[in-house]
Structure 1
């Protein structure tokens, strides 16, 4: 998507600045904006892409990119043709707005793609996060069940385990990485297509 901008408007920002002004977590990829902040400014479409997790995120405003997410399914809050206000982390603490993007569901990463040398950083950071975070519990649950049962768990077995109080924190990063390397777990891939920029918003940051 061609972006015709005065270069002086391409100011980089920090997550702390965006969190303070527009609300939401300073670390989440798609932060939830409070009702109070939303009433104040009207924006609830922020997406922040760290290239350690999303190595093919857009790096130039208007350029296409890829968004990664563990699991086969679409997020519960995903809707067709939803537009996101995307920012990419260029270096530590430095973020640049890329434009307004629509995401399209694509084929998941293949085993061969996941094993590539240029994906090592992504493998390492995702494996570590999945092994520790609340949102990684579902993946840890299936990995643990697979290890205990010696086979793929049924949906009933998975749901029963997920309903327990077990956080499955004994699943380590290497076990997580191996599950993806073997194709037992997969990463969804989303294409990112720029459909606009919103120059007026850019002038406010």
Structure 2
């Protein structure tokens, strides 16, 4: 399928070169099948019907019954809306972005992931087995150097999407209780119950400001094909 990447969401060339290096940008893992087969896309419901797992999660885990049947718990689904530099061809390198701190001990990072990327509507293409390696973060300077559309896209997602809840709550706690306040697990649990009301009370600018002043950091995970 034709790759649908919004040009206004692309990060600066300077940051990409710093994060991936020329070697990483130009790396190609050999794919021993024809392009017609390698570039075949599938809908997310179709994949979920066959193997289980959420239709929306980036790293879904199938149900115990499905895992008992196929044993595959290594899925990654990257969306170009928030990861415009994800691999767009099988075997290509790329970047995955996360609003959470990169942790080398994260269990999902220990083994290659069965990685799909959404290249067009209902077209998720299998890129191969990729290892996600914690990479560089966007410094406050690098964050401010990105286009306003990039910052707005992330702020909108973090404010309104389920995957942004933890970041949103951290920003909300600092806004309501002071920048030095360190919320506990119980605080997060209690606040999650009222997440809809908290979203209404917060703005995209609150999120942008948290990254601008360095209270929050956008991290990269280098997507490296290994199989």
Tell me how far apart the structure 2 counterparts of residues 69 and 192 of structure 1 sit (CA, whole Å): 12
Q: Does 1:43 align with 2:43?
A: no
Map of 2:209 onto structure 1: 178
Tell me how far apart the structure 1 counterparts of residues 121 and 140 of structure 2 sit (CA, whole Å): 30
Q: CA RMSD in A?
A: 2.3
Structure-2-length-normalised TM-score:
0.75
Q: Does 1:4 align with 2:32?
A: yes
Structure 1, unaligned runs of 5 or more = 197-205
Tell me how far apart the structure 2 counterparts of residues 25 and 112 of structure 1 sit (CA, whole Å): 36
Tell me how far apart the structure 2 counterparts of residues 80 and 91 of structure 1 sit (CA, whole Å): 26
Query: Displacement, 1:56?
Result: 1.0
Map of 1:17 onto structure 2: 46
Map of 1:199 onto structure 2: none
Matched positions, count: 192
Larger helix share, 1 or 2: 2
Structure-1-length-normalised TM-score:
0.82
Distance change (3 Å), C-alpha of 1:13 and 1:79: closer
Structure 2, unaligned runs of 5 or more = 1-28
> 127-136 or 104-113, which moves further after superposition?
127-136
The within-5 A match list for 1:1-205 is 1-10=29-38, 11-74=40-103, 77-118=106-147, 120-121=149-150, 123-153=151-181, 155=182, 158-159=183-184, 161-165=187-191, 166-167=194-195, 168-169=198-199, 170-196=201-227
